[in-house]
Amino acid sequence: MPDIVLATLNAKWIHASFGLRYLRANLGELRERSTIREFEIGQRPVDVAEAILADEPRIVGLGVYVWNAAQSLQLVRILKRVRPDLCVVLGGPEVSHETEQQPICALADHVVRGEADLAFADLCRRVLAGEAAVPHVIDAPLPHFADLRLPYDEYGEADIAHRIVYVESSRGCPFTCEFCLSALDVPVRKAELGPFLAAMETLLVRGVRHFKFVDRTFNLGIDTATAILRFFRERWREGMFLHFELIPDRLPDVLRAEIAAFPPGALQFEVGVQSLDDATCERISRRQDTNRLADNLRWLRASTGAHVHADLIVGLPGEDEATFARGFDLLWSLGPQEIQVGVLKRLRGTPIVRHDADCGMGWSEEPPYEVLQTAAVPFAAMQRMKRFARFWDVVANSGNWTAVLEQLLAGESSYRAFAAFSEWLHGRTRATSGIALHRLAALLWEWLVEVRALPEATAGAAMAADYERCARHDWPEFLRPWVSTRRAAMREPVTGGSERQARHRGAARD
């Protein structure tokens, strides 16, 4: 039985916990006395507790994040009620700030704040040795890569075969965006390139094809970013897929050349735009060159096969719906395959709270601490914008309705056009999730033909094109006049990325 259980509740099973693997890799002589136990937030906390306690550990290290905070609190309550002698150690961004205000931290024996890769191992040594004076709260010094054992050997064969494999070539961020924990003066530290690439080579040999880089600013160091891309390009093989988070206004020619050399479907870039309003960006201490950002996005879409996933945030201090709409319209015109419309969250420790009074920020007190209203966006309008975000993901980002989307967004403002559809759809369904694909198809037809009065031939041709592109065979009756048996039976092979990205790659906007 292991003395140490490292556990967390992931958002989904496919997400393998990167943090737990770093902790285990750096336990030193205690590594063989430890195990990793991963769960999902949909599991009952009492069942998670049962599985953990079956190992009869002396120490449980629990990773706490904004998405699992509520479930983690229930879990710790059960663990301490059933095994009062069990040493529960918390870590993760959710408990690293405002620690004294959180009930879960009061229940736990110890809380390690900050990057706990090395501090957790030291704490375990002290606890297992029976030391009595171990502090309740431990502030971990920032580790440097040279002092860390890389965690990639901790990925098992099942992880490699079926789950997302996370990697990182750097930590920290030089920017000060107030909604982000990276605004807290966390310096950028880079992994030594040689050992890092050697570890990537090992993962490739073991069969990894999908790599998700968690670096906050992958293209901050151009030489390193170029070397990493070149490494993977020279070893590219069918089915390889790389995900990076990019600084949107930093793509010099040398980096462009490497990006353009990859085949379609090999790269996905998450581009943190967040806002295209200069006054809003200045208000939240975000430095961004909008003109250069726009040029880079146009180039990525026109000259590369990369999948571009761009982020915008609803509810930033001082930004009203009209300003957000203008930013959305501009971003849509730049052609990213996906626009992720996120809702501002008050992550613990972030300086965004300095705007609470002057911008009328009202927050939910429950995780994930989403903004409820601002002086610029009252509660009712915020609810409409949140529905917009959800339906946009279902209709636009899914890749199922790219031809239909062009009809949905026709008009002076793509935002206003989709917002009207979003409110109508909510009125018809009273839901923002759980709408089956065939029902959504019928609702899209009703909106386009009966509400918007589009000619049936126009709406039918667009919807049929989407059915054919996605190779669906469950054609609804109203689309029968536009069925093409030959085309409906055809399907382009998926050569990289996900099924969702493959649907986007077949779209007209490509």
Domain annotation covers residue 265: yes
Does 299 share its domain with 428? no
What pLDDT was estimated at residue 493?
A: 44
Out of 90, 116, 145, a domain closes at 145
Out of 349, 371, 393, a domain closes at 371
Residue 90: alpha-carbon gap to chain centroid: 23
Residue 501: alpha-carbon gap to chain centroid: 15
Alpha helices in 207-339 (DSSP H): 222-234, 253-260, 278-283, 290-303, 321-333
Three-state SS at 311: strand
Does 171 share its domain with 215? yes
Does 91 share its domain with 172? no
Inter-residue contact 342 to 369 (CB < 8 Å): no
Residues in a beta bridge with 466? none
Over its length of 510 residues, how does the chain's per-residue pLDDT go in tens digits? Answer: 999 999 999 999 999 999 999 999 999 999 999 999 999 999 999 999 999 999 999 999 999 999 999 999 999 999 999 999 999 999 999 999 999 999 999 999 999 999 999 999 999 999 999 998 999 999 999 999 999 999 999 999 999 999 999 999 999 988 889 999 877 767 899 999 999 999 999 999 999 999 999 999 999 999 999 999 999 999 999 999 999 999 999 999 999 999 999 999 999 999 999 999 999 999 999 999 999 999 999 999 999 999 999 999 999 999 999 999 999 999 999 999 999 999 999 999 999 999 999 999 999 999 999 999 999 999 999 999 999 999 999 999 999 999 999 999 999 999 999 999 999 999 999 998 889 999 999 999 999 999 999 999 999 999 999 999 988 888 899 998 887 653 544 444 444 556 666 667 655 454
Does 358 share its domain with 401? no
**Total number of domains in the chain:** 3
Domain annotation covers residue 157: no
Pairing of strands 4-10, 34-40: parallel
Rg (CA), the chain: 24
What pLDDT was estimated at residue 505?
A: 60
Domain annotation covers residue 158: no
Domain annotation covers residue 151: no
What pLDDT was estimated at residue 486?
A: 37
Inter-residue contact 308 to 272 (CB < 8 Å): no
Does 270 share its domain with 183? yes
Sheet-wide strand order for 241-246: 165-167, 210-213, 241-246, 267-274, 307-314, 338-343
Three-state SS at 237: coil
Inter-residue contact 113 to 140 (CB < 8 Å): yes
Residue 128: alpha-carbon gap to chain centroid: 36
Distance CA 52, CA 470 (A): 43
**For residue 59, what is the enclosing H or E element?**
strand 59-63
What pLDDT was estimated at residue 472?
A: 86
What pLDDT was estimated at residue 181?
A: 86
Residue 177 amino acid letter = C
Does 81 share its domain with 120? yes
What pLDDT was estimated at residue 502?
A: 66
Residue with tokens 């807290």: 184
What pLDDT was estimated at residue 497?
A: 58
Out of 345, 371, 397, a domain closes at 371
Three-state SS at 455: coil
What pLDDT was estimated at residue 474?
A: 86
CB atoms near residue 186 (< 10 Å): 17
Does 356 share its domain with 451? no
Does 40 share its domain with 131? yes
Exposure of 74 in the CB half-sphere (CA atoms within 13 A): 13
pTM score, whole prediction: 0.92
- For the record, the structure tokens of 297 come out as 């996005």
DSSP annotation string for 188-212: -EE--HHHHHHHHHHHHHHT--EEE
Instruction: List all residues 6 or more positions away from 156 whose beta carbon is below 8 Å from its beta carbon.
Output: none
Domain annotation covers residue 152: no
Residue 231 Rama label (left phi>0; alpha psi -120 to 50; beta) = alpha
Helical pair 253-260 and 290-303, crossing angle rounded to 10 deg: 30
Alpha helices in 10-131 (DSSP H): 18-25, 45-53, 69-82, 103-107, 119-128
Does 477 share its domain with 495? yes
Residue 138 amino acid letter = I
Q: Which structural domain, as residue segments, surrounds residue 472?
A: 378-510
CATH number at residue 228: 3.80.30.20
Inter-residue contact 119 to 134 (CB < 8 Å): no
What pLDDT was estimated at residue 438?
A: 93
**Count of positions (residues) in the chain:** 510
Instruction: List all residues 6 or more positions away from 481 whose beta carbon is below 8 Å from its beta carbon.
Output: 460
Residues in a beta bridge with 307? 268
Does 362 share its domain with 404? no
Does 79 share its domain with 122? yes
